[in-house]
Amino acid sequence: MTTEKDYSANSIQVLAGLSAVRKRPGMYIGSTGIKGLHHLVYEVVDNSIDEAMAGFCSTITVVLHKDGSVSIQDDGRGIPTEIHPKYNISGVELVMTKLHAGGKFDKDSYKVSGGLHGVGISVVNALSKKLHVQVCRNGKLYTQDFAKGNKLTSLEEKGDCSERGTLVKFYPDEEIFETVEFHFDTLSARLREIAFLNKGVEIKIKEEHTEKEHVFKYDGGIVSFVEYLNKNKNPLHEVISFNKEKNGNAIDIALQYNDSYQENIFSFVNTINTTEGGTHLTGFRTALTRVINNYAQKKDSIRLTNEDVREGITVVISVKIPEPQFEGQTKTKLGNSEMKGIVDSVVSAELNTYFEENPAAIKTIIDKCINAAKARDAARKARDLTRRKGALNAHSLPGKLSDCQSRDPAQGELYLVEGDSAGGSAKAGRNRKFQAILPLRGKILNVEKARMNKIFENEEITTMITALGCGIGEEFNIEKARYHKIIIMTDADVDGAHIRTLILTFFFRHMKPLIEKGYLYIAQPPLFRLKKGKSIEYFYDEEKLDQKMKEIGKENTSIQRYKGLGEMNPGQLWETTMDPVNRTLLQVTLEDAVEADKIFTILMGDEVDPRKQFIQTHAHEVVNLDV
Ligand code: 0RA
């Protein structure tokens, strides 16, 4: 039993703080799902990054351990082990148990990193069932252990140490989190981003049980980032970059056009990825359009719009500002109104200077943008023509669509089915209350190599756009999507895989928000049907089938291998692939937008060599190649 008198005023405050974190974790880390879980790692890494930015740390190593814990090690100064004069506890204990104590130790350092919420390591401690910290400082090794925010041991000196730095190892608490399994790829993608944004810092990530390991170190910073993004594309000029400080805000921008039709913009505020954009991005776009227009008008009377100067541009914008205000659905939109003007004026001045000094670059860019403008004009005509033929309007649905009865998008499912015959089976087998069927004939257009005008001329795609109801391009509006489950259902063979990739490319390039919202799925039709006597069982992979055949013996059995959806009758298709009770759907997610862009560029773009290389590297991973 402890009485009130045992606590100093300060420590009462500390204890109240961390129990509040356990009571309402979402307030501190956003959610208790996978995102919140990963946030714990970023929170610790951010502290190491602060050490790096202060010039004391060069290497950060993240390890996903077999026992479910994660450790983050750095070679910084080490968390102070000395007793803090005000709180009368060691720096380690202070940082680990006091909310927001993280960077406030030395007030002079201008803390610009910091996770989405910038909450400090004590939050990680509060939400871990166990946390172990090791500090090497002043030639000594110190350790201390905690659980659920409480200290288990005091800070102990464990002997000598020649290196310097901090290691934090924690076990996320399953009483708090919906899942405690970390995703290597998601963490790796974010760490790569952090490495690009903090030039020169080496960041390693390892996963013990798979032995996966990535090392990121970019001396070129965001210039390297742009080069990386454009790696498998054809750049039209050197990377243009500048770095300015204005009114206490640091503005760091790199950009390069390539010959594709996609815009690829990544914007950051204090290293947080502002996926919803905001004032910094608006300022950039306004300036870019104005500067390019000024040059273009000397050459042509054409008036370029924001849209025209976007085509084929790759940009990284990183701003560091003292008091960011985040808005939007996911708090990833910068709201500080002054940033629009600041970024606009910096970009205008810097681009003008660059183009005066590099006339060849601006000439190439203008040609590209004028071509884009002409193509957009053609696209508008094609769109109008397609519309006049009755397509693209959700109130005149395509004849090929067998719609469902429900008008509630949250209930509705749209199956995009390969071929008319499978489409017929799906139509006959479905539950028409909430399942709609759209058969797609043959290979749809590869949108990676097509501009919008070609897209509007393509019947399969316009039919799909009309059925989806959410429009495309400037008209895209996710609120108008007619179904919240869009399910790609193709054959389990090479053609099916190709068609699936073409459809995925379309969604990734033109309807990415549908993927981000989790509306896109892939159906999993079975590969085998095993009949023994009167009982029937379906199998989705060969291994499971073989296993069963040991078990039950060959007598009276027959195996059917499905080459296509069309071989299943409507009842079978419903039972195995469409019935919500039995089916397995793979949800298409976007864990790593950078990697996804790279893969679509490689697989669907026009450079042959990277594709060859990709296929050679990944050929051994193919399990179901049925040519
Ligand atoms: C407070 C003050 C100082 C460093 C740190 C915290 C620090 C925290 C973490 C967390 C992970 N790695 C870290 N490295 C350092 C400044 C130390 C000094 O003034 O010597």
Q: Is 219 a catalytic residue?
A: no
Q: Is 418 a catalytic residue?
A: yes
CB atoms within 10 A of CB 404: 22
Distance, CA of 362 to CA of 359 (rounded, Å)? 5
Rg, C-alpha atoms of the chain:
28
Instruction: Give me the residue spans of the domains in the chain.
Output: 9-216, 222-370, 389-526+579-590, 528-560, 593-621
Distance, CA of 75 to CA of 499 (rounded, Å)? 49
Which residue type occupies 475? E
pTM of the model: 0.86
Question: Which of 162, 168, 186, 145 has its CA nearest to residue 60?
Answer: 168
Ligand 1 pocket mutation pick from 98, 106, 111 by most atoms within 8 angstroms of CB: 106
Atom of ligand 1 nearest to the CA of 72: 11
Instruction: Write the CB contacts of 574 (distance below 8 Å, at least 6 apart in sequence).
Output: 429, 430, 431
* CB of residue 76 inside a 6 A radius of ligand 1: yes
Q: What does DSSP say about strands 485-489 and 520-523: parallel, antiparallel, or unpaired?
A: parallel
* CB of residue 95 inside a 6 A radius of ligand 1: yes
Q: Is 579 a catalytic residue?
A: no
Distance, CA of 179 to CA of 174 (rounded, Å)? 7
CB atoms within 10 A of CB 215: 14
Ligand 1 pocket mutation pick from 41, 44, 46, 47 by most atoms within 8 angstroms of CB: 47
| Domain covering 389-526+579-590 in this structure, CATH number | 3.40.50.670
Ligand 1, atom 8, residue with closest C-alpha = 79
Output the CA 464–ligand 1 centroid distance in Å. Answer: 55
Output the CA 167–ligand 1 centroid distance in Å. Answer: 11
For the chain, the average pLDDT equals: 90
Task: Identify the pLDDT of residue 412.
Answer: 97
Catalytic: which of 418, 460, 592, 597? 418
Task: Identify the pLDDT of residue 343.
Answer: 98
Q: Are 62 and 38 in contact (CB under 8 A)?
A: no
Q: Is 185 a catalytic residue?
A: no
Matching CATH topology for 222-370 and 389-526+579-590?
A: no
The string of DSSP letters for 186-201 reads HHHHHHHHHHHHSTT-
* CB of residue 122 inside a 6 A radius of ligand 1: no
Tokens representing 361 are 């670059």
User: Rounded to whole angstroms, what are the CA distances from 309 to 143, 261, 291, 314, 492?
Assistant: 55, 11, 10, 11, 41
Task: Identify the pLDDT of residue 447.
Answer: 93
Output the CA 95–ligand 1 centroid distance in Å. Answer: 9
| Domain covering 9-216 in this structure, CATH number | 3.30.565.10
Ligand 1 pocket mutation pick from 46, 49, 50, 81 by most atoms within 8 angstroms of CB: 50
* CB of residue 137 inside a 6 A radius of ligand 1: no
For the chain, the 3-state helix, strand and coil shares in percent, each to the nearest 5, are 40, 20, 35
Task: Identify the pLDDT of residue 394.
Answer: 66
Question: Which of 204, 28, 6, 205 has its CA nearest to residue 125?
Answer: 28
Q: Tell me which residues of the chain have a pLDDT lower than 70.
A: 1-16, 100-119, 394, 620-627
* CB of residue 120 inside a 6 A radius of ligand 1: no
Catalytic: which of 202, 459, 495, 516? 495
Output the CA 55–ligand 1 centroid distance in Å. Answer: 12
Output the CA 474–ligand 1 centroid distance in Å. Answer: 48
Catalytic: which of 493, 516, 579, 591? 493
Atom of ligand 1 nearest to the CA of 76: 14
* CB of residue 487 inside a 6 A radius of ligand 1: no
Distance, CA of 173 to CA of 414 (rounded, Å)? 39
CA 367 to centroid of chain Cα atoms: 32
Atom of ligand 1 nearest to the CA of 101: 1
45-103: pLDDT as tens digits: 999 999 999 999 999 999 999 999 999 999 999 999 999 998 899 999 999 998 865 44
Q: Measure CA of the first residue to CA of the last residue in the chain; give whole Å.
A: 73
* CB of residue 80 inside a 6 A radius of ligand 1: yes
Burial environment of residue 418 by CB neighbours within 10 A (0 to 12, 13 to 18, 19 or more): buried
- Biggest CA pair distance of the chain: 84
Tokens representing 344 are 């606009």
Catalytic: which of 350, 413, 491, 592? 491
| Domain covering 222-370 in this structure, CATH number | 3.30.230.10
Q: Are 31 and 175 in contact (CB under 8 A)?
A: no
* CB of residue 46 inside a 6 A radius of ligand 1: no
**Location of structure tokens 């100064």:** 77
